[in-house]
Amino acid sequence: MSILAVITATGCLRKKASKPPTPVSSAPANAFAAVPGETPPTPTTASPVAVIPTAPPRDSAPTTPAPANLTPAATIPPEQPTTTPPKDKVVVTPDTSLSGKIATVNSAARFVVLSFPVGHLPPLDQHLNVNRRGVKVGELKVTGPQLDENIVADIVSGDAQAGDEVTSR
């Protein structure tokens, strides 16, 4: 018994008082961007915040003085949500024009062999422009036959050379 009295007197068996849990601060509701598909929280009006001027650090360069109308007791009004008027909708249309190159030319028979990207061949009887350095120099009519990405066209008017660009009208 005497041992028990000594232990109790020294505080070894005494329960220690637990510390109250520290409160967790939460961010204001308007501190995060809205999640797509959810309605944004309604903005809460915050109390005005006092502006307290601070002295610039000694190591920094001199700064311009504050305007005369700004006093240490000046307050900033709460931010108002801005709304933008709806803009015109942009319509994007894909470029469906054809573009290829003249692979070979047979000037005696007045036909050319055209080369196009895979899957982008012109249909038969389509008229195409021949451009050399951005200037139209001739006109072609697709007649066929076709082999892979190559197709034959007749020279309708103008001139054609190997390497010229061919575009749809």
CB atoms within 10 A of CB 45: 9
Does the pLDDT value for residue 24 go beyond 70? no
- Which range (10-14, 22-26, 105-109, 154-158) has the least confidence? 10-14
112 by DSSP, 3-state: which? Answer: strand
Does the pLDDT value for residue 82 go beyond 90? no
CB burial of residue 86 (10 Å; 0-12, 13-18, 19+): exposed
**Class of 99-168 per CATH?**
mainly beta
- What is the residue-averaged pLDDT of the chain? 76
138 vs 71, higher pLDDT: 138
Does the pLDDT value for residue 105 go beyond 80? yes
Domain ranges of the chain: 99-168
Rounded mean pLDDT of 31-50? 61
pLDDT band at 46 (very low <50, low <70, confident <90, very high): low
Rounded mean pLDDT of 138-161? 94
